[in-house]
Amino acid sequence: MNTSDNDTAQSFHSPRRGRKVLFALAGLVVIAAGGWYYWQSNSDQEATVEPLIATVEIGNIENTITAAGSLQPFEFVDVGAQVNGILQKLHIEVGDQVEAGQLLAEIDARIQEARVEASQASIEALEAQIEARRASLDLAKANALRQERLMEADATSQLDYDNAVTNLASAQASLIQLEKQILQSRASLESDMTQLEFSRIYAPRTGTVVSIEMNEGRTINANQQAPTILRIADLNTMTVETEISEADISRIQKGMDVYFTTLGGGERRWYSKLRQILPTPVVENNVVLYTGLFDVDNSDASLLSDMTAQVYFVTSSATNVPTVPIGALTFVDQQPGQPAGQGVAARPRGQFAGAGQGAEGLTPEMRERLRERMASGQGALPGAAANRQGGQAPATGRRLANVTVVNPDGSQEQREIMVGVTSRIAAEVISGLEVGDKVVAGIIQGGPVGPPQNGNDQRRAFRAIGGFQ
């Protein structure tokens, strides 16, 4: 019984075990085929690497510090009122061009006119009294003379003589007092007439009406302070007020080159020089900002008050000079792993390339020319120093760098050159390269060599050394 059952179980499980073995073998074959296909595909599609060739060209290099600013008139005056009353009439509108002495506004002047009339009447009354006082003085003089003659003849009393002298002195004092009252009244009349003139407001200078603070019919109270009615500004010259951060203020100097653009000005630039840095900062949200001022000509009236300006302070620049991509340079003082364009030259000044030792890659003619220019303090190639903003660059601005030059026959050579002003993307060539020379500025990493398997394999990735992203 037991033997028969075992035979039956073995016969039941044998086919199932065979199928499992077949499935496992089939799986191994599929995996092996997939691996072979993947290896074959990758071996046929190895990436290619090509050098990126750049040409030394004439160009401009500029390093700037950016800041935000706003435009204000260089000169302006706030026109106010010095008398009380209702603003009766405005003779101008915002934007009008006015001349000095032109009537701008009128204030209700009935009170001032009444005061002037009262002062004039008081003066007339005093002038009428003065004739009577002069007549009384003449009479007192005559009586005093008569009493004097009678006194000499011993024909009058001492009392009558003294009364006559006293009346004469009183008449003289009364006339003088009246004359002084007339002078005082005339001074008061002048004051009242001035107040009357203040009710008519005239332009203190030539300019443009840029704002009107009050409308017709408004009551003006000038007892405590002169209220501003309008502002007149000279828009031929505008001042840019720019906010400079505390982190950048140490690199900003009075007289440095600066330019700005506006939101609606497109690519146009307005150039100037920094006129002043206000010593007292403005603190906004714990941020310390210093105010820089510079002026710009606005004779074409293209700039208006309160325009937003994007300001650029030029820290260094070179115009119309030979340039080379920064990615082509390896500075001789650059530390391993340090990005291109950084580091501080450690070689003594007398050991620049071409000036003595280490001038590899320079022809004898180039070496001699560079030695002559270094001895004369010029340093740059002809035309470069004259085009540099701010004049001759300091010696510490020149640095040595190595480049890979591609010769006309396709061969490559290492050459040491001297560069001047550098930016994140380019460097000024002082010596060692000429316009038209070709250098290796990076590498181009291409896609697979074999036939593409999908759309992504058709893309080409560019990778450059240094400033090319």
Please indicate, yes or no, whether residues 12 and 113 belong to a single structural domain of this protein.
no
Say yes or no: 32 and 110 in one domain: no
DSSP conformation class of 432: S
Q: Which of 182, 210, 238 is the last residue of a domain?
A: 210
Instruction: Give whole-number Cα distances, 303 to 83, 205, 235, 300, in Å.
Output: 35, 21, 8, 8
Tell me, yes or no, whether 323 and 453 share the same domain.
Answer: yes
Q: Is the separation of the CB atoms in 401 and 414 below 8 Å?
A: no
Question: What's the pTM?
Answer: 0.59
Task: Report whether 120 contacts 189 (CB < 8 A).
Answer: yes
Q: Pick left, alpha or beta for residue 176 (phi over 0 → left; psi -120 to 50 → alpha; otherwise beta).
A: alpha
Q: Quick one: 101 and 161 in the same domain?
A: yes
- Whether residue 171 contacts residue 136, with contact meaning beta carbons closer than 8 Å, is answered with yes
146 and 35 together in one domain: no
Classify the C-alpha dihedral 332-442-414-400 as positive or negative: negative
103 assigned to some structural domain: yes
Q: Is residue 79 part of a domain?
A: yes
3-state helix, strand, coil in the chain (%, to 5): 35, 35, 30
Residue 206 sits in the same domain as residue 324: no
135 and 9 within one domain: no
Instruction: State residue 20's pLDDT score.
Output: 67
Residues 37 and 96 occupy one common structural domain? no
Structural domain boundaries, residue 23: 2-44
In a domain, 275, yes or no: no
Are 39 and 81 part of one and the same domain?
no
The reply to whether 38 and 86 lie within a common domain is: no
DSSP E strands in 11-127: the ranges are: 47-55, 57-80, 85-90, 97-98, 103-107
Alpha carbon dihedral 270, 272, 277, 278, in 10-degree steps, equals -60
Q: 254 CB contacts (<8 Å, ≥6 apart)?
A: 274, 275, 276, 277
pLDDT by 10s per residue, the chain, length 469: 444 444 444 444 455 566 666 666 766 766 776 666 666 555 544 556 688 889 999 999 989 999 999 999 988 888 888 888 888 889 988 888 899 989 999 888 888 888 888 888 888 888 888 888 888 888 888 888 888 888 888 887 888 888 888 888 888 888 888 888 888 888 888 888 888 888 898 998 888 888 888 888 888 876 766 788 888 888 899 999 999 999 999 999 999 999 999 998 888 999 999 999 999 999 988 889 999 999 999 988 899 888 999 999 999 888 899 999 998 898 886 544 444 444 433 333 333 333 333 334 445 554 455 445 444 444 434 333 334 443 333 333 688 999 999 999 988 899 999 998 888 889 999 989 999 999 998 887 655 545 444 444 433 333 343 433 3
Gap between the Cα atoms of 219 and 230, Å rounded: 15
In sign, the C-alpha dihedral spanning 335, 340, 345, 351 is positive
Query: Any idea which residue has 């003589």 for tokens?
Result: 161
Query: Which of 177, 210, 243 is the endpoint of a domain?
Result: 210
* Sequential DSSP letters for 319-356: EEEEEEEGGG-EETTPPTTPPTT-S---S-GGG-TTSS
User: Does the residue 313 lie in any domain?
Assistant: no
Q: What is the pLDDT of residues 288-325, one digit of tens each?
A: 999 999 999 998 889 988 899 999 999 988 889 999 99
In a domain, 368, yes or no: yes
The tens digit of pLDDT for each residue in 144-176 reads: 888 888 888 888 788 888 888 888 888 888 888
- pLDDT at 205 (0 to 100): 87
Of 369, 374, 432, the residue nearest 401 (C-alpha): 432
Helix (H) / strand (E) element for 36: namely helix 2-44
Residues 105 and 176 in one domain: yes
Residue 140 lies in a domain: yes
SS3 25: helix
Does residue 95 contact residue 232 with C-beta atoms inside 8 Å? no
Token pair, residue 45, equals: 């599609």
Of 166, 190, 210, the residue at which a domain comes to its end is 210
Does the residue 110 lie in any domain?
yes
Q: What is the total count of domains within the chain?
A: 3
Kindly state whether residue 281 falls inside one of the protein's structural domains. Answer: no
Residues 40 and 82 grouped into a single domain: no
